[in-house]
Amino acid sequence: MAKFSTIKQHLYSKIASGEWPEHHPVSSENALAQQFKVSRMTARRALQELADEGLVIRSKGSGTYVAPIKSQTSFMAIRNIADEVRSRNHDYRAHVHVLRKEAATAHVAELLQLDAGKPVYHSVITHFENDLPVQVEERYVNPELVKGYLSQNYEEITPHEYLCEVSPLTEASHEIEAITPSPQLCQWLKLSKPEPCLRINRRTWSAAGVVTFAVLTHPGSRFSLGGHLHFGSARA
Amino acid sequence: MAKFSTIKQHLYSKIASGEWPEHHPVSSENALAQQFKVSRMTARRALQELADEGLVIRSKGSGTYVAPIKSQTSFMAIRNIADEVRSRNHDYRAHVHVLRKEAATAHVAELLQLDAGKPVYHSVITHFENDLPVQVEERYVNPELVKGYLSQNYEEITPHEYLCEVSPLTEASHEIEAITPSPQLCQWLKLSKPEPCLRINRRTWSAAGVVTFAVLTHPGSRFSLGGHLHFGSARA
DNA sequence: AAACCCTAATTGTATATACAAGAACATTTT
DNA sequence: AAAATGTTCTTGTATATACAATTAGGGTTT
């Protein structure tokens, strides 16, 4: 591992563990250079990249400090639909429509970074809030990275919860769009006639590669996404 | 202006103008160092930052190339629709439907944290990408915090750009939903019949309080929101 | 034609150094 | 006490240099 990367890891752990809370001063470039026996420029690179990622804030003349927590994750903190429903003190229930092994289509294979035709796990689940469908979750899973996916009871534990247990995710990408639901989706969502739906396409990675790809569809009338951002770090 | 910044501007203009299209090779570190009479490390910084911003792709041994145009943008960055359109090398145009002072309704007053009946500034603007409407921006502005709002030409500068100039924003909240557009919105978006639209409700704060509240409506067929998250820090 | 090897170019990592600019704190002067 | 001054620490910019790792292309051999 590169030296600057070693230093980044060290600082990551201090911040992630909570040992250094918000606004706590971070070791200066010179201090890190001494501690890790590298040049100031190398220590600087570690701090600079952390600043670019929004984890720390740097101020000329003053120093480097742990960034206030809210800055990035709140919006798209990976949501667990079950927790969300329960946090509103509503009943949560799930119904599994599909749970099986399939051969990957070209499209699915590309998204999971596998070869077409290789087996993938496929699930379709409707999530209910007080017996009203609020999300249809269609998911494809990389079977090489998640062995026991098919043998879980997804009316007890959500796929998201299981996947988080099995392989800690390191990265996620999202795309949000507004769509008209297909007849099949209307049925699963118990919509008597099509209404605009919010669709979230989410891909998540672990260190080993793409773990899963999910298409989450919410009826527009029953769902909205919220988020809050703080600025102040401002490295334009 | 710092030297690395000068070089970035130079490269940015090459890319934005289309003189260097997708995948076109970008001057190497050494070439830029000679051309601008700086050290390789300074030229390198310019290229590296452009790579961090996603404008170019660097490949060890091969070189630096203009990145493929990305069709989605990060949620996290407060997006300026004009920049976004132009970053795709498309034409940007705006049309102002409404720009006036009004008395705040109870709803607007609450969102701006003002008293009902107090004056507020109200604007409605359609933003075009290649003559196709991609966003209707309906906006209410706190007149106590932004004096000259009504006297700007919003076909030249976007409200967002003006507001950023006048009062640096410190905070923002977003809500995203899928809606069916009203007849009025269909007209402004030039939709012959209603289609699902992505709606973003955004409120922004400066240190002094709520600056503005915007309702941004995008046709589902012409827009999607994208974002990417890293969890190396584990603050999720 | 194909396989192989060598070379040049390019990006990636790392170091040592220099000076500028801002912030914080202690010291001196008023 | 308040104001001015200076010192020191910190980050920001810039340079020159060295070597590693990878790629692309050219030339040679098979």
CA-nearest of B103, B147, B235 to A72 is B235
Cβ-defined contact of B230 to A52 (cutoff 8 Å): no
Structure confidence at residue B43 (pLDDT): 97
Q: Tell me the nt nearest to B31, Cα to C1'.
A: C10
How many CB atoms within 10 Å of residue A103? 12
Cβ-defined contact of A178 to B175 (cutoff 8 Å): no
C-alpha distances (whole Å) from B8 to each of A99, B21, B47, B55 are 51, 17, 7, 11
Report whether pLDDT(A202) > 90: no
CA-nearest of A126, A80, A99, A90 to A218 is A126
Structure confidence at residue A170 (pLDDT): 62
Cβ-defined contact of A12 to B169 (cutoff 8 Å): no
Nearest by CB: A53 against B218, B226, B233: B233
| SS3 category, A127 | strand
* Average pLDDT for chain A: 83
- Average pLDDT of the residues in A10-16: 84
Footprint of strand D on the protein (CB under 7 A): A 26, 28-31, 40-41, 44, 47-48, 51, 58-64; B 2-5, 37-42, 45, 59-62
Note whether A71 and A22 are within 8 A (CB): no
Structure confidence at residue A236 (pLDDT): 27
Where chain B has pLDDT below 50, the residues are 70-77, 230-236
Report whether pLDDT(A78) > 90: no
Q: B3-66 and B81-222 share one CATH topology?
A: no
Structure confidence at residue B230 (pLDDT): 45
What is the C-alpha separation between B122 and B104, in angstroms, rounded? Answer: 9
How many CB atoms within 10 Å of residue A21? 9
- Average pLDDT of the residues in A108-131: 89
Please measure the distance between the N-terminal and C-terminal CA atoms of chain A and give it in whole angstroms: 29
Question: A5-19, A27-41, B43-57, B193-207: which has the highest mean pLDDT?
Answer: A27-41
CA dihedral A148, A150, A154, A160 (to 10 degrees): 60
pLDDT digits (tens, 9 = 90+) for B122-145: 999 999 988 889 899 999 999 988
What ipTM score was computed for the predicted complex, to two decimals?
A: 0.56
Min Cα–Cα distance to chain A from B152, Å: 25
Note whether B129 and B217 are within 8 A (CB): no
CB-strand contact B64/C, under 7 Å: yes
CATH number listed for the domain at residues B3-66: 1.10.10.10
CATH topology of domain A3-70: Arc Repressor Mutant, subunit A (1.10.10)
Least reliable range by pLDDT among A21-30, A90-99, A156-165, B4-13: A156-165
Local confidence band at A91 (pLDDT 50, 70, 90 cut-offs): confident
Structure confidence at residue A131 (pLDDT): 86
The enclosing H or E element of B36 equals: helix B29-36
Local confidence band at A75 (pLDDT 50, 70, 90 cut-offs): very low
Structure confidence at residue A183 (pLDDT): 93
Structure confidence at residue A168 (pLDDT): 61
CA-nearest of B188, B72, B187, B183 to B137 is B188
Report whether pLDDT(A71) > 50: no
Structure confidence at residue A22 (pLDDT): 82
Structure confidence at residue B160 (pLDDT): 85
| Residue nearest the C1' of C8 (CA based) | B61
Residue A225 in tokens: 């996404």
Nearest by CB: B197 against A16, A196, A231: A196
**Would you state the CATH architecture of domain A81-222?**
3-Layer(aba) Sandwich (3.40)
Q: Distance (Å) from CA A116 to C1' D30?
A: 38
Q: Where are the domains of chain B?
A: 3-66, 81-222
Local confidence band at A226 (pLDDT 50, 70, 90 cut-offs): low
Phi, psi for residue A124 in degrees, rounded to 5:
-130, 125
Structure confidence at residue B73 (pLDDT): 39
Note whether A36 and A43 are within 8 A (CB): yes
| SS3 category, B227 | strand
Structure confidence at residue B101 (pLDDT): 95
